[in-house]
Amino acid sequence: MAYVRLSKVPAIDTALKLSGVAVVMFAFVFVVMVPLYNVLCDVLGINGKTAGTAYTAVPVMIDESREVTVQFVAINNNEMPWGFAPDARVMRVHPGAANGTIFRATNPTNAPMVAQAIPSISPSRAAAYFHKTECFCFEQQGLAGLATADMPLQFIVDQDLPRDIHTITLSYTLFDVTASVTDQVVAR
Amino acid sequence: MGDHHHGPAAGVTRWLFTTNHKDIGTMYLWFSFAMFLLGGFFAMVIRAELFQPGMQLVEPAFFNQMTTLHGLVMVFGAIMPSFVGLANWLIPMMIGAPDMALPRMNNWSFWILPPAFLMLASTLFMEGGAPAFGWTFYAPLSTTYAPPSVTFFIFAIHILGVSSIMGSINIIATVMNMRAPGMTYMKMPMFVWTWLITAFLLVAVMPVLAGAVTMMLMDIHFGTSFFSAAGGGDPVLFQHIFWFFGHPEVYIIILPAFGVVSQIIPAFSRKPLFGYASMVYATASIAFLSFVVWAHHMYTVGMPVAGELFFMYATMLIAVPTGVKVFNWISTMWRGSLSFETPMLFSIGFLVLFTLGGFTGLMLSIAPADFQYHDTYFVVAHFHYVMVAGAVFSMTAAVYYWLPKWCGRMYSESMGKIHFWISFIGFNITFFPQHFVGLAGMPRRIPDYALQFADFNMMSSIGAFIYGASQLLFLYNVIATIVSGERVSDEKVWDGAEGLEWTVPTPAPYHTFEEPPLVSKPAGTF
């Protein structure tokens, strides 16, 4: 090269380092942003996300001094044809006490289907205080054609629930995941 | 390395195989202008449909395809490549380098662009139509409910992302390694500074966009559930990833525009740029802050109050370095010996209208108020004030300013002035009323609207046709200049222009600075 320049660093070195930065940023999306988002949502209860696994009990103090209203909402996503409803729409519970209820699902089609329920808590501030010890939402639910099933839910409202929260709404949206489950079976 | 004084090759291979920064810059500029006309055509379809309430010309589904493609083509096809073209032409000449640092990669980063946009445009003719989910392509609209052509859209984004990353790596390597002796960092022209910082932003966030579309691809075809609630994912995650790219992206678009007006305003004020060092630091601060404000696009998704407050204050903070810049431009003009040639007119138009767009940006940054403005025409008005009156006006100013240097011929000043005034008036007729209909509650991205918005929408459409037509005048002026403009031979085409690019002969020869220039004066001094 005939020309003279200020920097003594070969341009290709700079370019290679920058390509490294680009590769790192691409990986950053997958290995940092996605897990970090999920962790933050779990920890902060953002979007009313509840924990995806069963809650293990701590020494319980049942708070008989107050009652909390728990409302249940069941929604079908998009064109999901199932009948899906809570057994009781409203329960009054004491914080700290173990409670149970069921949701009833009916598959009105002739074909077997698989569903996944996604929970959400409102107000989202209450999400961290609503513990599910057993939930049908922890796994996918399969139903044969024309079958009906009772799906259990066991929960404890934490005794540390802020006192200004009197009503908690737990909403389930039921998704039809038959196609993706079948895909996975075929893929195997 | 043999003969250093050969000219360009003949015929089409000159353009296919060229590694010359001026040739590649020219191709970028023409390509982006073609995309500007295509995106403008889509805008005309939108405004024609919105001329009157009710459905007149196109189907709602096609209308959605138009808004989507208009945004994508303008952002990725028109504005971004135009500034890359400008960088190719000017950065080597401004820092006294013979060419870009990696000329072959430069050729490649241009030539993968046309296929990408050909692929994107071809989706219009596919079954199910083109992407219709808006340029922000929020999941699940762009995954579960997307037309089959979304896969072509994803690959187009991948390719143009690779092109942008290669282009910006080239620019950084050129600026960091190719400067002539004496051209220290704080002597570099502002345009070089703003592009250096822009290129770093691009290298950091274009891979994030690539990641987002890759996740979409996997959700659609490979059974993952990044953005699908049914599989444990979350559509809101998409918005976070998109805007983590998307907010720096808006500064990627506007920072080179800042650089352009920082070159032009001093030239026609016949004064050095006021506060050069503060300009550099302000640009760097804006770039840094752009990484921590992304969620101000998503105030309504249900963030905790602490999050809303953080993003609100961080966003307002950006007004400080931006205010420094506006102050410096005005101070540069203060008591200057002003003249109002076309580049200066467009720069002043930029200054006035961009500041207006900045103010509406401040209004939108206020989280509690944003709940009313969100997804209304107020947002549309805001970002067209900063994108069109910001980026496009400054790009137009740049073409008028440097065109005589590039081709050795002077454009028609009277036609240029007419172009400016028609653009300025047409632009304001188009977008100023959109503030009002937005505040009154007209949502964006709809093909039909309530009757009370009819008059303002008709004004908007008339303005849009005027603004669109004025760009054809611009095209004519540029072609007429190249073909038969009055010849200029002064090295300094403008008496107030400063910088190394004005020390080479006019028109700029095919090869410049094979011998490094002598750099002694700091940037912008006389």
Nearest CA in chain B to A30: B211
Q: Which chain A residues have any C-beta within 8 angstroms of a chain B C-beta?
A: 1-7, 9-12, 14-15, 18-19, 21-23, 25-26, 28-30, 33-34, 37-38, 41, 44, 46-47, 49, 52, 77, 116, 118, 124, 173, 175-177, 180, 183-184, 187
Q: Is the pLDDT of residue B475 over 90?
A: yes
Over residues B167-221, the pLDDT tens digits come to: 999 999 999 999 998 899 999 999 999 999 999 999 999 999 999 999 999 999 9
Structure tokens at A159: 């005794």
pLDDT at site A58: 64
Look at the block and give the residue holding tokens 């969100």: B374
Q: Which of B157, B158, B169, B308 to mutate to test the interface with A (most CBs of A within 10 A)?
A: B169
pLDDT tier, A1 (very low <50, low <70, confident <90, very high otherwise): very low
Q: Which of A4, A23, A25 to mutate to test the interface with B (most CBs of B within 10 A)?
A: A25
> Contacts of residue A180 in chain B, CB cutoff 8 Å?
223, 225, 230-231
Q: Is the pLDDT of residue B41 over 90?
A: yes
Asked if B172's CB is within 8 angstroms of A26's CB, the reply is no
Q: Which of B195, B203, B211 is nearest to B164 (CA)?
A: B203
B211/A contact by beta carbon, under 8 A: yes
pLDDT at site B526: 42
Asked if B207's CB is within 8 angstroms of A28's CB, the reply is yes
Asked if A28's CB is within 8 angstroms of B172's CB, the reply is no
Which domains are assigned to chain B?
A: 24-502 (1.20.210.10)
Asked if B204's CB is within 8 angstroms of A25's CB, the reply is yes
Region B50-59: mean pLDDT is 94
pLDDT at site B133: 94
Q: Which of B335, B365, B357 is nearest to B271 (CA)?
A: B335
B451/A contact by beta carbon, under 8 A: no
Name the residue facing A175 among B181, B207, B230 (closest C-beta): B230
Look at the block and give the residue holding tokens 């353009």: B15
Q: Is the peptide bond between A123 and the residue preceding it cis, with omega within 30 degrees of 0?
A: yes
Q: Is the pLDDT of residue A159 over 90?
A: no
Region B31-37: mean pLDDT is 97
pLDDT at site B521: 60
pLDDT tier, A90 (very low <50, low <70, confident <90, very high otherwise): very high
Q: Which of A4, A8, A12, A14 to mutate to test the interface with B (most CBs of B within 10 A)?
A: A14
Name the residue facing A11 among B178, B184, B232 (closest C-beta): B178
The pTM (predicted TM-score) of the whole model is 0.87
Is the distance from CB of A121 to CB of A71 less than 8 angstroms?
no
Query: How far is it, in rounded angstroms, from Cα B328 to Cα B281?
Result: 12
List the beta bridge partners of residue B274: none
Q: Which of B349, B359, B326 is nearest to B428 (CA)?
A: B349
ipTM rounded to 2 decimals: 0.85
Name the residue facing B223 among A12, A44, A184 (closest C-beta): A184
Is the distance from CB of B256 to CB of B202 less than 8 angstroms?
no
Report the gap between the CA of B363 and the closest CA in chain A (Å).
26
Q: Which of B334, B264, B277, B278 is nearest to B499 (CA)?
A: B264
pLDDT at site B271: 94
Q: Is the peptide bond between B140 and the residue preceding it cis, with omega within 30 degrees of 0?
A: yes
Highest mean pLDDT among A134-138, B3-7, B172-176: B172-176
Over residues B268-326, the pLDDT tens digits come to: 999 999 999 999 999 999 999 999 999 999 999 988 888 999 999 999 999 999 999 99
Cβ contacts of A147 within 8 Å, gap of 6 or more = A106, A107
The alpha carbon dihedral of B448, B454, B458, B460 has a sign of: negative
Name the residue facing B176 among A14, A38, A46 (closest C-beta): A14
Q: Which of B170, B209, B221, B234 to mutate to test the interface with A (most CBs of A within 10 A)?
A: B234
Query: How far is it, in rounded angstroms, from Cα B11 to Cα B30?
Result: 17
Nearest CA in chain A to B169: A15
pLDDT tier, B22 (very low <50, low <70, confident <90, very high otherwise): very high
Q: Is the peptide bond between B148 and the residue preceding it cis, with omega within 30 degrees of 0?
A: no
Phi, psi of A75 (to 5 degrees): -130, 140
pLDDT at site A64: 83
pLDDT at site B4: 52
Name the residue facing B234 among A15, A47, A180 (closest C-beta): A47
Query: For residue B487, what are the CA distances in angstroms to B171, B404, B405, B484?
Result: 31, 9, 11, 8
pLDDT at site B148: 94
Asked if B169's CB is within 8 angstroms of A18's CB, the reply is yes
Query: How far is it, in rounded angstroms, from Cα B142 to Cα B147?
Result: 8
Buried b (16+ CB within 10 A) or exposed e, B199-221: bbbbbbbbbbbbbbbbbbbbbbe
Query: How far is it, in rounded angstroms, from Cα B490 to Cα B89?
Result: 19
CB neighbours of residue B486 within 10 Å: 11
Question: For chains A and B, what is the number of CB pairs under 8 angstroms?
Answer: 131
Name the residue facing A30 among B173, B181, B211 (closest C-beta): B211
Q: Which residues of B are catalytic?
A: 70, 99, 135, 163-164, 247, 249, 251, 262, 296-297, 322, 325, 444
| Strand, coil or helix: B37 | helix
Report the gap between the CA of A183 and the closest CA in chain B (Å).
8
Asked if A26's CB is within 8 angstroms of B210's CB, the reply is yes
Measure the CA dihedral B80/B86/B87/B88, to 10°.
110
